[in-house]
Structure 1
Amino acid sequence: MKKCKIFSAVLTLILSLSSLSGCEKNQNLDKLLNKDDPVTIQIWHYYNGVQQTSFDAMVDEFNNTVGLEKGIIVEASTKNSISELSKSIISSAKKEPGADELPNIFETYSETAFVIDNLGMLADLSKYFTEDEINEYVDEYINEGKFSGDNSLKIFPTAKSTEIMMLNLTDWQKFADATGATFDDLKTLEGVAETAEKYYNYTDALTPDIENDGKAFYGRDSMANYMSIGAKQLGGEFFPKDENNQTYLNLNKDVVKKLWDNYYIPYIKGYYASESRYRSDDVKIGSIIALVCSTTGASYYPKEVTINDDYSYPIENVVLPAPQFEGCDPYIVQQGAGMSVIKSNEKLEYASSVFLKWFTDSERNIEFSINSGYLPVKKEANNFEKISEINSDSEKSVNDATMNAIKIAIDEINSCTLYTSMPFEKSAETRDILSDSIQNVATEDYKEISQRIKNGEKRDKVLEEYTSDEYFENWFENFSETLKQTMNEK
């Protein structure tokens, strides 16, 4: 008993000293700041609309409270899009003619952060946060920012998203009543493909006098996500890292064939579609009734289907978890930009970290994130009851579709493993290849197949050519060679 009491006392002392160490660390850094001689922190972001309004309001709040107290003035400006922001940051970092001075903080995805870090220009934010503070954030979000392999924190999480499935419930119900289809059929990607075939046959049968006019059921917004998350689920991650933190290409033909069979094959048969820029637009024009999109896309899901100028009808929607490959460990995509800090001096870097810490306070971060379907970044904030409470108290509560998307996303985060590809020198180029490789050939082949059938050829006979193993082998050889060449480019 005496030994237990001694151990308990020692443990309490250690924890107390650890806590004091964190407090002393912040207090010592606070001495760098002077409220009578404030430091100005420039932020570049790509927020627009509701997000920009919300962010600007929070910057004003910071400047009038913590910033005023500590001597920090934050000035924020938008670059309108992530591509424009990325180009501007890289141009400024390389001091190209006409480029602006670098900001202190910039919003970024890992590919751009990787480029700036290779120039030796990113600050390690871990020195400005205690271990306890870091542990408050979702582990995978923090790990994404530690891409350099030396445990330094180069991207700080601010708002994240993942993928969900959305369904036109109005048209689904008619189909389900006629065929017995259920939501359980949509839990796996194999189930989605089978359901899409049933939907095509069901809609084709509605007009018995017209052959082969069945409708597509499903589409998805990000093919790069389908490829990378699918490969991870199937045990064949495309770009893993070795023990030296070096990325290498891992091409498993069986894994790629599974990806092919569950997207290309149903697509060329007319079961899937991708006609507009976003799949929510395809739902709006009646081309599909189910899609996988980012949680941020939930607010854009249409409330009616417009077939033509003379005919439209209202629809209800339902949000479901993103489907997984059957029998595999559940992975979901982790996406959304974070913020990086340009390496400068301790005063500016610390002032930047003070703002980031304030901005990601749980309640504040929830209020900012959910306005656009993003997810908060702290563990305690990923609680739907807490999110609902804050949303109901907000002057501008978000719509039901967005809240339903957030609820499903929170459930996914708590039951699946988050995954994102770590950046490497050719990560942007290889992501483009993953995005286009199956989709482009599927789109072109579907057009060609449709024309041949229209010209009088038998549908089954035409499809035999495109669904053969030989056809896949030829495509895979080209896909493989393109990735290898890209990885080896200097």
Structure 2
Amino acid sequence: MKKSIIQILELPVLLTMALGLLACGTKVVSSAESPFSKERGGFSVKEEPLEITVWTYFSGIQQEAFQRTINRFNEGRGKDIGVEVKAYNPGSTLDLQNNLYGINQKKLAQGDYPDIVSLHTDTAMILEEEGVLTDLDSYFSKEDWSAFVPSFLEEGRLGRKYGGVKILPVAKSTELLYINKTDWDSFAEATGTSLSELSTKEGLLNVAEKYYRYTDSLTETPDDGKAFYGIDDYANYMLVGARELGVNLISVDEEGNPKVQFPKEVMKTLWDNLYVPIIKGYFTSEGRFRSDDVKTGDILAYTASSASSVYFPKEVIISDREQHAITDIVLPAPHFEGGEEIAMQQGIGMGVVQGNKKRVEASVQFLKWLTSYEENAQFAISAEYLPVRVDSFTVEAIDKEKGSGMDPSLEKALSTMSSNTLYFTPSIINLAEIRKALEYELQDKALSDRYKIETAMASGVSREDAIAEYDNDENFEQYYETILQEINYLLSDS
């Protein structure tokens, strides 16, 4: 089994950085008081603009949308206040984290630091402990904050009840259920199955079993049914699923100390609704993403980020000779029957690196512009995310950017986040490693055991007997003890 514990990079005390950094004051700075305003004698049109840099992990349409947004700022508001923004992409999220963690090790000069960085909470926690991030409460008024969706701001406070906002929400997403409607229609007509059966995880599992038996019946080969469903993010399944069952697997107290709660009965329910259907061939994960598995015909449906809707394939390609066009339908992600309806809250947030007061001020001016009503709606929606403001967190805002009814995925994401209780992962230093443990301990074990079952079946063992070797309490107990030990180890190191 693939080992999922990866030691987090050491972040030494940022002595080199500290020498060049100035602490921000506590006074809220209005736009009129900004040193960049012309009334205050800011940069004149004859002077070179102050250049600030943004490090992001964006790619594809996100990167394109962000660059268009930066261009609008530089040609408009930025020109007025003498500020020019440039974006850099060090690579993936992990590449960005490694660059941030290694700032002091590389002994970069102050001018080489980014001014603004795209952040997840675990990275922000490490930088925050070293005093690297600016407290944005010093620059945004209560009226400014009242424009944001409250849950988005809460996440940006890094789990500290009385702490300031360190990650400014910029764009948000949730998870949705994507279905190959073309092939679903054929299956549904043949079996009398309804889309309404997919509203719960238990119903989804029943449909997946029905689909396996239906596809098995289409050939003379026994036990060659196809998987119906897959998941992009196993950690989200574990965290949100447990929350729907009334438990926070990982949480923090008011002081930010991590807590673990892994009731065996809750973990068994999560196991029964993911591990078991994988080893039975009802669910699977073949390609890098589940949209890849739909394209190859390995599954019919999957749960993934609402921001990934543009990657749903337009056709299924079985071989060079066998392919057909498909359309999609988007539904809310299924919930556990009888549990609280929880929606995953995730997306893009940005922090400002402590430094020269003028650079911090300029960075804040850009972020205020980026989260203004029109600009935030235009950027977020064009990047296939939802805006973060209360006044633009609406169907009308989506329709204005995309056209009425032209983006059902975003509209479904909006209705999901508006009607469900929102959940975001707690702010813990080792969160990335904890998520990897939740992701790969179950995924790797399930896929490995499924392969062993298929091997046994190929050698003549019956499907029922092959599955029984793994679908038992002893196997679950082994997994439970392993994951609990791993999570406790990671938390003790955080």
TM-score for the superposition, normalised by structure 1: 0.89
Distance 2:434 2:62 in 1: 30
Quick check: 1:33–1:70 contact (8 Å CA) kept in 2?
no
Counterpart residue type for residue 449 of structure 1: I
Q: Which residue number corresponds to residue 469 of structure 2?
A: 465
Q: Which residue number corresponds to residue 15 of structure 2?
A: none
How far 1:24 sits from its partner (Å)? 8.2
More off after superposition, 474-483 vs 268-277:
474-483
Q: Which residue number corresponds to residue 157 of structure 1?
A: 169
**Structure 1 segment 64-143 matched on structure 2, within 5 A:** 64-92=75-103, 94-96=104-106, 101-143=112-154
Counterpart residue type for residue 418 of structure 1: L
How far 1:140 sits from its partner (Å)? 1.2
Distance 1:483 1:58 in 2: 40
**SS across alignment from 2:33:** helix
**Structure 1 segment 216-227 matched on structure 2, within 5 A:** 216-227=227-238
**1:378-432 deviations in whole A, cap 9, x for unaligned?**
1121212221122239xxxxx95xx111010000011011111122122111111
Distance 1:184 1:370 in 2: 28
Q: Which residue number corresponds to residue 354 of structure 2?
A: 343
Q: Which residue number corresponds to residue 32 of structure 2?
A: 27
**Structure 1 segment 407-486 matched on structure 2, within 5 A:** 407-486=411-490
Larger % of helix: which?
A: 1
Residues 1:421 and 1:23: Cα distance change in structure 2 (over 3 Å): closer
Quick check: 2:381–2:401 contact (8 Å CA) kept in 1?
no
Whether 2:252 is the aligned partner of 1:241: answer yes
Moved over 6 A (4+): none
How far 1:58 sits from its partner (Å)? 2.2
**Structure 1 segment 68-467 matched on structure 2, within 5 A:** 68-92=79-103, 94-96=104-106, 101-147=112-158, 149=160, 150-207=162-219, 209-392=220-403, 403-467=407-471
How far 1:206 sits from its partner (Å)? 1.5
Residues 1:287 and 1:213: Cα distance change in structure 2 (over 3 Å): same
How far 1:64 sits from its partner (Å)? 2.6
**1:117-174 deviations in whole A, cap 9, x for unaligned?**
1111110011111112111111111111101513211000111111111101111111
Counterpart residue type for residue 113 of structure 1: A
Quick check: 2:148–2:389 contact (8 Å CA) kept in 1?
yes
Q: CA RMSD in A?
A: 2.1
- Segments of structure 2 that go 5 or more residues without pairing to the other structure are 1-26
How far 1:203 sits from its partner (Å)? 0.9
More off after superposition, 479-488 vs 166-175:
479-488
**SS across alignment from 1:326:** coil
Residues 1:148 and 1:254: Cα distance change in structure 2 (over 3 Å): closer
How far 1:189 sits from its partner (Å)? 0.7
Counterpart residue type for residue 170 of structure 2: T
Distance 1:342 1:488 in 2: 28
**1:15-50 deviations in whole A, cap 9, x for unaligned?**
xxxxxxx99844334567713254332211122333
Counterpart residue type for residue 95 of structure 2: E
Distance 1:324 1:361 in 2: 34
- Segments of structure 1 that go 5 or more residues without pairing to the other structure are 1-21, 394-398
Quick check: 2:97–2:123 contact (8 Å CA) kept in 1?
yes
**1:343-384 deviations in whole A, cap 9, x for unaligned?**
124432222111111112222222222233211111121212
How far 1:108 sits from its partner (Å)? 1.3
**1:301-359 deviations in whole A, cap 9, x for unaligned?**
11111111111011111000011111111111111131100112443222211111111
TM-score for the superposition, normalised by structure 2: 0.89
Distance 1:33 1:477 in 2: 65
Quick check: 1:155–1:338 contact (8 Å CA) kept in 2?
yes
How far 1:454 sits from its partner (Å)? 1.1
Quick check: 2:29–2:138 contact (8 Å CA) kept in 1?
no
Quick check: 2:343–2:423 contact (8 Å CA) kept in 1?
yes
Distance 1:363 1:243 in 2: 35
Q: Which residue number corresponds to residue 22 of structure 2?
A: none
Quick check: 2:173–2:347 contact (8 Å CA) kept in 1?
yes
More off after superposition, 61-70 vs 455-464:
61-70
Counterpart residue type for residue 415 of structure 1: S
* Identical amino acids, percent of aligned pairs: 37
Quick check: 1:334–1:420 contact (8 Å CA) kept in 2?
yes
Distance 1:294 1:210 in 2: 36
Residues 1:24 and 1:104: Cα distance change in structure 2 (over 3 Å): closer
Counterpart residue type for residue 164 of structure 1: L
**SS across alignment from 2:252:** coil
**SS across alignment from 1:28:** coil
